[in-house]
Structure 1
Amino acid sequence: MSPLLSIERLSVAIGGVTLLDDISLSLDRGQILGLVGESGSGKSLTALTVTGLLPLIGGRIASGRILFDGTDLASLGPAGLRKLRGGRIGFVMQNPMTALDPVQRIGEQIDVVSRLHLGLSGEAARARTLDLMGQLRIPEAAAVAEAYPHQLSGGMKQRIVIAMALAGEPDLIVADEPTTALDVTVQAQIIQILTGLVRERGLALLLITHDMGVVAQACDRVAVLYAGRVAEERAVDPLFERPAHPYAAALIGCIPREGMAEGSLKGIAGSVPPATQFPPGCRFHPRCPHAVDICRTERPLLRETPDGGLVACHLAERIAG
């Protein structure tokens, strides 16, 4: 059976600059795929492309395709994309503070999704809204539905954004940094809610984050992006136990662990280069402690790991070994 979402050799450009380069990923129902990497790696751009919002930032698909349940999203016009987005594809935006309309009541913002995509009447839509709010552990849902966004906490706003993503009965949820700016306790609650929904309803979740700890807690597979390319894509346990790409290893090394000695937490020297200054060869080589001459001149192609994953590194066997 074909995957629900299949991104095939996707390249995305803005103007004459290619920001995503030959990305391939797949995701099926009941599965959580984590998309990780530092800022500038291309995570949010991938989310905008999957949800059909790329034109809003002047972007275009330069090559490749995105298949959703067998349909090439690039072949759909604006009306077709609007029907999918909010309906079969739910989008949890990065910042709940700006994702909500400040002058519209909370309940109305959730109601409109099920009215548009499910054809519910006003009364039925409100009943569905209150039911979703209850499932998301929002206390006094009826009172919260009458509130305005500024009257709610950040964690409560995030739950509302998730309710909006669920209101159209989606098959796929794209969650772009859904725990950003939330405290640790609320982060854990939001991740628990999302993972529970995937398992209970058989949804597919593309979870975009820079937090490897969240990935370890929630995901089945993880794709590590660096400078617009996939560096490694594997099941979570093998990747955390023995990462094959030095960038994946460096990200895992940034996770704080219980009992760590003070000052032992590692960082990654340097930063992701801007898209106009991507280096030749492996794009991570200027920051990589293992880089050799071939890394500086030849692009490493994705190849299969023994456990069925993929890695793009000339030295993968040495790193993982």
Structure 2
Amino acid sequence: MKLYSPATIKDIRERYGFRLTKSLGQNFLTDKNIIDNIIEASNIGENDLVIEIGPGIGVITKEAAAKAGSVIAVEIDKNLIPILQETLADETNVKIINRDILKTDLTAVIEEEKKNFPQMESVRIIGNLPYYITTPIIMKLLEDGVPADSITVMMQKEVADRIKAAPGNKERGALSVAVQYYCQVVKVTDVPKEVFVPAPKVDSTVLRLDIRKEKPVELKDDKLFFKAVKSGFAQRRKTLLNSLASGTGLGKDKIGQILEEAGIDPGRRAETLDIDEFAKIANGMFEMNL
């Protein structure tokens, strides 16, 4: 059964009386080349656990199961569970969980699976993320410290452009710095809206986020780092001096001193800074508060 075939998708929807839920951002992928690209980019091995977020009718799940030792598919829509039980009936290494990923302790799920799959070497997270909660899902995975090696996910192209934006790029923002602090970002492929049923209004991009084993900078206080990043981008059109002074509450004199000691021009804007420069600012804020 070619689950990615529009005819198959139509047949399944009719047989189960399944109606797409717009609020869940349900769009089913119909391009086998894109599916293969996602699986290949995920670097799934036979001793790997794959966690898929939002399997839909199992289009990507089925291909992942052929490569992985174990697959756990987390699906929020209870109406899709019987469909998944049918489409994945032959995949003995797949477990289906009916949960909201934002309310799921994936670390606990992984620890439990280790009991059944002791040869587990790596954890790979994959998925076609709902556009409206892409950022919350990614940041939850990273901030929770889920013990995964990589996250290979499809998202709205606009969000992907922000995540991978380098210093100096107008798309760069707090999300760019936060994700790049936790991960090395690799673009896999662009995905046109025409290869989905139903077709969304925007194009998509697949990114692989390789989770860093060691952080790229030394910080004296992680919270101050993210406060500096958030403050810097809160008023994008303002200079770094003004945005940081306003956002941190330290005032222009103290921020000016911090920037001077860090060797950073106070007239620059946040999108021009790299992670190391934000770290210098955060560490300077730490010293200033002593």
Q: TM-score, normalised by structure 2?
A: 0.32
Higher relative contact order (Cα pairs below 8 Å, separated by 6+ residues): 1
Task: Decide which structure has greater helix share.
Answer: 2
